[in-house]
């Protein structure tokens, strides 16, 4: 157990006890609590196994409380600190304006200011206690911060516990006390340290429990998936840099750690940046958020990475999308397969998820979750091992019908509120409306709980295709501002049929959709040869 952990354990346990008590039964909750605290701080089993066995409910609850303690609470604490600074500055200005005319008001202002000073002293004292004296005061801004806090505290003590009633008769003394009060205005300098801390906790909130790089003075949403593969969130500037990786910090990190030997891949279709930050070693691929790359784009990507990696054994790649999870994970997983580090999509996806997720703060999975993205990683494995890294033969198909199973809880329960769109190359090539049966016919079987949407006038499709479902009913929406969607490639369709259960449909893999879409919900797409 580290010295920092030993010092933290008492405060940590007290917080948990106070927070846990109203949320759980005392006996079981406390034992699970102690198990979690010690397994976490001592470095033991983090799976939250106890003598009571695996208990998913308690495990998830503990992880949520971990998230509250480690991310949410620091955010509001820092925000509260900034508010207090402004309040204290306002009180000082008010005190200077009031002068010695209203001594009772003057005393009240002094007492409030003293309370604020004591709060900041407690804040710094706890930080020094947890981080250690030497480590905390390595930062110049922390040294200045401590000096200002101690100085303003002394001023407040002198001001509050001095008899001000006769000061009007001693002009020089009045001036001295006014100067001491003005010194408190130096606390505005503390805004710099508060801003820095607020930025850190905000970035941690946005990145959630993705594994971060927190060594050598850096704190970045950045993970070494392997020694030569880096996954990270979007390198940002301006307002976005407040809650995501600042691009200058990312560039500094890469220049220090891998000078002249890194290449950055930007997978965002929605935004870019000046490649000069990374010495123009940037390659961009236009993939929409929560969507998939085309087979052709995947082959271009791995060919580019292969060429770069072969140039020098010290070369590394840094890959990012917006959050550094879905699109980033998809492309990293196909490279892991391409470079023979894994033979299957499942193994590469599991490995990426394990590397990107910090299970010490939350159990939330930070790997590739969107089913279509996982499906396309599987497609790439087939490209490598079956088609020798060539595109498969093009197979044009015509969509004959779409069958929806377990439809009774979805909207009106008969498919009449649904709209279906077929999208090819980011362009809608076909629409049909269940309500008017425009371009389609509906066949509803209430007894067997399914509906068949027979498509009419649907054009022939080939290669990468997206089918998107919307509803006029009050059904929750997910990504892409729709109920659900999915991608497939016609070259991988077998027996002119594609069957996808709920967990393989984009958006419906999220638990928030399960109240509407039961476990038996599924989509079956039937094709015909053109």
Q: Say which residue the tokens 């979750």 belong to.
A: 369
Q: Phi and psi for 420 in degrees, rounded to 5? A: -120, 135
Domains of the chain, CATH where assigned: 3-54 (no CATH), 71-195 (1.20.120.350), 208-385 (3.90.190.10), 398-528 (2.60.40.1110)
Contact 336, 380 (CB under 8 A): no
432 belongs to the catalytic site: no
Catalytic one among 48, 160, 268, 321?
A: 321
Specify the DSSP element, H or E, that contains 348.
helix 345-356
Lowest mean pLDDT across 123-132, 240-249, 370-379, 440-449: 123-132
Summarised one tens digit per residue, pLDDT across range 440-497 is 999 999 999 999 999 999 999 999 999 999 999 999 999 999 999 999 999 999 999 9
Identify each DSSP E strand in 161-240 by its residue range.
222-226, 229-232
Q: Phi and psi for 449 in degrees, rounded to 5? A: 60, 55
Summarised one tens digit per residue, pLDDT across range 409-418 is 999 999 999 9
Q: Record the tokens describing residue 363, joined without a space.
A: 């159990």
For helices 326-338 and 371-385, what crossing angle results, to 10°? 20
Flag whether pLDDT at 11 surpasses 50.
no
Residue 413 gets the label, from left (phi > 0), alpha (psi -120 to 50) or beta, of left
DSSP 242-263: GTS-BHHHHHHHHHHHSTT-EE
Q: 181 Cβ partners below 8 Å, 6+ apart?
A: 92, 95, 96, 155, 159
DSSP 434-485: TTTTBTEEEEEETTTTEEEEEE-SPPPB-SEEEEEEEESSS----GGGSSEE
Q: Look at residue 206 in the predicted model and tell me its pLDDT.
A: 61
């Amino acid at each position: 157990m580290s010295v920092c952990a030993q010092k933290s354990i008492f405060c940590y346990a007290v917080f948990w006890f106070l927070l846990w008590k109203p949320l759980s039964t005392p006996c079981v909750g406390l034992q699970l609590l102690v198990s979690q605290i010690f397994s976490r701080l001592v470095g033991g089993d983090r799976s939250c196994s106890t003598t009571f066995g695996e208990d998913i409910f308690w495990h998830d609850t503990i992880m949520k409380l971990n998230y509250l303690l480690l991310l949410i609470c620091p955010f509001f604490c820092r925000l509260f600190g900034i508010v207090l600074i402004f309040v204290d500055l306002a009180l000082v200005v008010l005190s200077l304006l009031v002068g010695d005319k209203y001594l009772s008001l003057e005393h009240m202002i002094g007492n409030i200011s003293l309370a604020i000073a004591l709060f900041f002293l407690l804040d710094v004292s706890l930080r020094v206690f947890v981080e250690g004296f030497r480590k905390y005061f390595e930062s110049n801004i922390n040294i200045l911060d401590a000096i200002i806090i101690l100085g303003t505290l002394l001023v407040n003590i002198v001001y509050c516990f001095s008899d001000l009633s006769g000061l009007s008769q001693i002009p020089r003394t009045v001036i001295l006390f006014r100067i001491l009060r003005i010194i408190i205005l130096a606390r505005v300098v503390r805004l710099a340290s508060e801003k820095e801390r607020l930025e850190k906790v905000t970035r941690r909130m946005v990145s959630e429990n993705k594994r971060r790089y927190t060594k050598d003075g850096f704190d970045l949403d950045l993970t070494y998936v392997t020694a030569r593969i880096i996954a990270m969130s979007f390198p940002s500037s301006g307002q976005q840099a407040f809650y995501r990786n600042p691009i200058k910090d990312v560039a500094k990190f890469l220049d220090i750690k891998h000078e002249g030997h890194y290449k950055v891949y930007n997978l965002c279709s929605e935004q870019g940046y000046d490649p000069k930050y990374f010495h123009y070693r940037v390659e961009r691929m236009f993939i929409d958020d929560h969507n998939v790359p085309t087979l052709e784009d995947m082959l271009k990507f791995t060919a580019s990475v292969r060429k770069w990696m072969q140039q020098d054994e010290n070369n590394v790649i840094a890959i990012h999308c917006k959050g550094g999870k879905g699109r980033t994970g998809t492309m990293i997983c196909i490279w892991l397969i391409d470079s023979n580090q894994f033979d299957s999509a499942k193994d590469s996806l599991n490995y990426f998820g394990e590397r990107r997720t910090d299970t010490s703060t939350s159990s939330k999975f930070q790997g590739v979750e969107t089913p279509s993205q996982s499906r396309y990683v599987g497609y790439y494995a087939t490209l490598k091992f079956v088609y020798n890294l060539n595109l498969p033969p093009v197979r044009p198909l015509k969509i004959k019908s779409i069958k929806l199973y377990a439809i009774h809880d979805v909207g009106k329960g008969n498919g009449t509120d649904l709209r279906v769109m077929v999208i090819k190359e980011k362009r809608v090539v076909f629409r049909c409306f269940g309500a008017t049966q425009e371009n389609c016919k509906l066949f509803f079987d209430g007894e067997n709980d399914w509906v068949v949407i027979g498509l009419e006038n649907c054009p022939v499709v080939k290669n990468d295709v997206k089918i998107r479902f919307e509803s006029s009913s009050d059904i929750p929406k997910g990504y892409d501002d729709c109920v659900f969607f999915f991608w497939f490639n016609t070259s991988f369709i077998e027996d002119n049929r594609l069957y996808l259960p709920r967990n393989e449909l984009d958006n419906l893999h999220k638990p928030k959709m399960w109240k509407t879409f039961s476990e038996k919900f599924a989509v079956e797409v039937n094709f015909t040869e053109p």
